[in-house]
């Protein structure tokens, strides 16, 4: 701390205070160091941290707000629900005003996040271009910024959901109006609806329903009979609790802070609690970085007399569960709309941005699949009847560009080399199929479907980060539909 104070003092002696001292909350920092073999910086392309917008803040009168003589800059960051509890969102920035220095300022929680995210905002006011610059200087100025999730042990995850290169940053300059505009099609609102239930039964058995997926949720159901002591009272009222504790581990073996929730409730006729308890489930978000979870249970009595405490912790080892982690790779997305039949995917053409399904496919084709491949070391490189337990493969789709995505599981099709291939039948969503009332507006003769895939929480989208698009084309008026559908 003394050395840092001395550095700041020396800087102040060499220039104006505004040039030397960081704005409140901002700190000098090292720039992104992506791609280093021994580094802790990484790129996010799985929608874990997303810049929604950034730029100068309008003042409502045709100009821009200022602070200390400079423009006030602001932005919005969304963080995936599973990451928000354990990581701190921030923004790194620098400008041509001080080209050698990166600054970091943490974001603050805000309202208005889409489903599946928590929202944060940031403000910047120092070390940036301002209204005092000449037109020539302003035309040459530039701001670079990038959102980041700061981990507890120095690891940093940078938003690259709109940035193709690992060394790219968002750039604001006169050419783009000093702003990064909204792109709602990038990392759209969607919940990772992977949900597992762990049931701890009275007979000491443990059952699991559903997959524990990084970024999803886990619900714990606990039979109170497993810990039956410590039911103390105070003045005739219950004075004890039974809590479930969980913590999560990342790939480096680092543990999150424990989280806890009560798994009991008391009967309370006429609003007066009795010492008769019933189990209640406890639900926890699984961090997107988790590879394992531990659970244990503590019962405490805190009534009059000697305090009581009892544990259910697998003989002090805790109950440990594997969390499904993202695959090492997924891609080779193809579409196969064919009258020849055969393999569900072989012979398909590259999906690109999407597919078109029209009257030919509707009347002639016997296959209408979108397929893609997944590789996960030790999982897809061998035949495994339990593959469905290790890969949570889903498609998320919606008609139009608004509203929530609907999620469905994607069936396994075949193994190809060391990859597993999955096939989604797009005919089932065709709003123009015979004797079927459409689930979307078809008055224009076409319907637009947006969709993307997730495998253990990691997303496969089009190359630009947007959802894939399917276009269904109708065949003119349909007498049955006109007579039977609204």
Q: In the prediction, which pLDDT does 23 show?
A: 45
Report the pLDDT averaged over residues 326-354.
91
pLDDT of residue 269: 66
**How sure is the predictor about 273, in pLDDT bands with cuts at 50, 70 and 90?**
low
State the sign of the Cα–Cα–Cα–Cα dihedral 206, 209, 215, 217: negative
pLDDT value of position 295: 96
Residue predicted with more confidence, 59 or 471: 471
pLDDT averaged over every residue in the chain: 85
- Read off the pTM: 0.59
Closest CA to 391 of 438, 307, 326, 448: 326
Those residues whose C-beta lies under 8 Å from the C-beta of residue 197, and which sit 6 or more positions away, are 208, 209, 210, 218, 219, 220, 221, 281
- Length reported for the chain: 486
Is 90 exceeded by the pLDDT of residue 115? no
The pair of three-digit structure tokens given for residue 208, joined into one six-digit string: 């699991």
Q: Tell me the C-alpha distance between 454 and 422, whole Å.
A: 11
Per domain, the residue ranges of the chain are: 19-180, 195-322, 329-484
Q: Which fold has domain 329-484?
A: Immunoglobulin-like (2.60.40)
> Could you tell me which CATH number the domain at 19-180 has?
2.60.40.2440
**pLDDT value of residue 271:** 60
- Find the helix or strand (DSSP H, E) in which 251 lies: none
Q: Which of 8-12, 288-292, 354-358, 429-433 shows the lowest per-residue confidence on average (mean pLDDT)? A: 8-12
pLDDT at 188 over 90: no
Predicted pLDDT at 19:
38
> What pLDDT shows up at residue 202?
95
DSSP 82: H
Q: Which residue has the higher pLDDT, 291 or 269?
A: 291
Section 410-425 average pLDDT: 96
In DSSP terms, 248 is beta-bridged to 293
Average pLDDT value for residue range 306-312: 87
**Spatial contact of 184 and 53, defined as CB atoms under 8 Å apart:** no
Q: What is the mean pLDDT of residues 401-417?
A: 90
User: pLDDT tens for residues 44-95?
Assistant: 887 889 999 999 988 878 788 988 888 899 999 999 877 777 778 999 999 8
Mean pLDDT to the nearest integer, 457-478: 86
pLDDT digits (tens, 9 = 90+) for 195-233: 889 999 999 999 998 889 887 889 999 999 999 888 877
- What separation in angstroms does the CA of 361 have from each of 12, 338, 416, 428, 445? 72, 7, 26, 12, 16
Is the model's pLDDT at 35 over the cut of 70? Answer: no
| Residue 7 pLDDT grade (very low, low, confident, very high; cuts 50, 70, 90) | very low
Domain 195-322, classified CATH 2.40.128, yes or no: no
Rounded Cα distance, 179 and 174, in Å = 9
Q: How far apart are CA 34 and CA 144, in angstroms?
A: 16
Contacts of 191 (CB under 8 A, 6+ apart): 81, 115, 116
* % the chain with pLDDT above 90: 45
Q: How far apart are CA 442 and CA 52, in angstroms?
A: 31
């Amino acid at each position: 701390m003394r050395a840092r104070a001395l550095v700041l003092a020396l800087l102040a002696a060499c220039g104006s205070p505004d040039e030397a001292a960081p704005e409140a909350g901002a700190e000098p920092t090292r720039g992104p160091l992506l791609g280093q073999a021994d580094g802790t910086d990484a790129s996010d392309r799985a929608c874990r941290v997303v810049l929604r917008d950034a730029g100068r803040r309008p003042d409502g009168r045709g100009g821009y707000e200022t602070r200390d003589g400079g423009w006030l800059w602001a932005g919005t960051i969304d963080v995936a629900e599973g990451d928000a509890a354990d990581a701190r969102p921030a923004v790194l920035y620098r400008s041509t005003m001080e080209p050698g220095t990166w600054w970091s300022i943490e974001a603050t929680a805000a309202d208005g996040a889409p489903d599946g995210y928590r929202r944060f905002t940031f403000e910047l006011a120092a070390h940036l271009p301002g209204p005092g610059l000449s037109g020539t200087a302003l035309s040459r100025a530039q701001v670079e910024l990038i959102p980041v999730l700061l981990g507890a042990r120095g690891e940093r995850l940078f938003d690259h959901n709109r940035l193709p290169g690992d060394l790219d940053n968002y750039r604001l300059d006169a050419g783009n109006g000093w702003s990064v505009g909204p792109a709602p099609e990038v990392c759209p609102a969607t919940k990772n609806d992977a949900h597992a239930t762990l049931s701890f039964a009275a007979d000491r058995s443990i059952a699991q329903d559903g997959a524990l997926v990084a970024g999803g949720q886990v619900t714990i159901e606990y039979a109170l009979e497993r810990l039956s002591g410590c039911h103390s009272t105070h003045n005739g009222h219950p004075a004890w609790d039974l809590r479930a504790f969980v913590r999560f581990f990342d790939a480096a073996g680092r543990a999150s802070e424990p989280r806890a929730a009560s798994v009991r409730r008391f009967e309370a006729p006429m609003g007066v609690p009795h010492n008769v308890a019933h189990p209640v489930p406890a639900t926890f978000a699984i961090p997107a970085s988790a590879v394992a979870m531990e659970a244990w249970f503590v019962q405490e009595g805190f009534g009059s007399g000697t305090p009581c405490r009892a544990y259910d912790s697998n003989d002090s080892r805790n109950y440990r569960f594997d969390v499904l982690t993202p695959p090492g790779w997924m891609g080779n997305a193809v579409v196969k709309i064919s009258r020849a039949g055969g393999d569900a995917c072989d012979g398909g053409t590259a999906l690109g941005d999407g597919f078109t399904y029209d009257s030919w496919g509707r009347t002639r084709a016997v296959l209408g699949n979108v397929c893609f491949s997944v590789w996960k070391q030790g999982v897809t490189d061998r035949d495994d009847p339990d593959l469905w337990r290790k890969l949570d493969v889903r498609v998320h789709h919606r008609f139009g560009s608004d509203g929530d995505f609907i999620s469905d599981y994607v069936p396994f099709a075949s193994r190809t080399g060391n990859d597993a291939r999955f096939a989604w039948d797009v005919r089932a969503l065709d709003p123009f199929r015979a004797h079927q009332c459409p689930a979307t507006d078809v008055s224009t003769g076409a319907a637009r479907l947006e969709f993307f895939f997730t495998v253990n929480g990691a997303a496969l989208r089009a190359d630009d980060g947007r959802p894939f698009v399917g276009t269904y084309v109708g065949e003119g008026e349909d007498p049955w539909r006109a007579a039977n559908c609204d």
